[in-house]
Amino acid sequence: MEIMDILKLISDNNRMRILNILYKKDKICVCVLEDILGLNQSNLSRHLNKLKKAGIIVGEKRSQWVDYEISEKFLQENQFVREILETRLTGEIFLRDLENLKCSTC
């Protein structure tokens, strides 16, 4: 995937919020993402499917839910994304999502 395609895909605020959460926690259930992001299931699924199709995230079915995580292969091949996730997401909404992640259960 070309850098411009990656940047275009992750420039969406909700997708960047998803990546921020997934980067801080190894695997996370889609139900927790719904709760933290306040997105309905269809909107969240649309964002997750775009990220999954691009190979940025992977999903593993667990009972009726799917657990998602960022693809380690993707991060290794695209270090600039790792740097963004580690150092650049300091806005209030990203910090609030991480606070809500601490309180979430599935």
Mean pLDDT throughout 51-74?
A: 94
CATH of region 3-100: 1.10.10.10
Strands 28-29 and 57-62, sheet pairing: unpaired
Distance CA 36, CA 15 (A): 13
pLDDT of amino acid 104: 75
Judge whether 5 and 41 are in contact, CB under 8 Å: no
Q: What are the residue ranges spanned by the domains of the chain?
A: 3-100
For residue 69, list its beta bridge partners. Answer: 58
Query: What tens digit of pLDDT does each residue of 15-39 get?
Result: 999 999 999 987 999 999 999 999 9
Share of the chain above pLDDT 70, in %: 99
pLDDT of amino acid 106: 67
